[in-house]
């Protein structure tokens, strides 16, 4: 999420909607059923220890925009975000 907001200048909501990935030791897990999943075979062919998996964990965020707080919720969760 931070990369999306800081480097790509996405809103918190847009960044939370990006596919999840998780590095565990030397193994990279990418979110199943995301646009990252089709890249797994090529990354494995290049020698990467990569697999697609269901990645738990849902994030929420708040950002200050134009003097007001704006909430953001992970679209994969059942939660909602409220804004001021």
For the CA atoms of 35, 32, 12, 10, the dihedral, rounded to the nearest 10 degrees, stands at -20
**H helix or E strand, kind and range, residue 38:** none
**pLDDT tens, position by position, 7-58:** 999 999 999 999 999 998 999 999 999 999 999 999 999 999 999 999 877 8
Q: Where are the domains of the chain?
A: 1-20+59-84, 21-56
The Cα–Cα gap between 70 and 53 comes to: 31
* Structure-block tokens of residue 71: 């909430």
pLDDT of residue 57: 76
Is the pLDDT at 76 greater than 90? The verdict is: no
């Amino acid at each position: 999420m931070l990369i999306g907001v800081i480097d790509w200048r996405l809103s918190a909501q847009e960044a939370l909607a990006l596919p999840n990935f998780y590095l565990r030791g030397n193994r990279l897990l990418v979110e199943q059923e995301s646009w990252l999943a089709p890249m797994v075979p090529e990354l494995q062919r290049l020698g990467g220890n990569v697999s697609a998996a269901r990645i738990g964990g849902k994030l929420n965020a708040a950002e200050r925009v134009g003097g007001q707080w704006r909430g953001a919720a992970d679209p994969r969760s059942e939660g909602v975000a409220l804004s001021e």
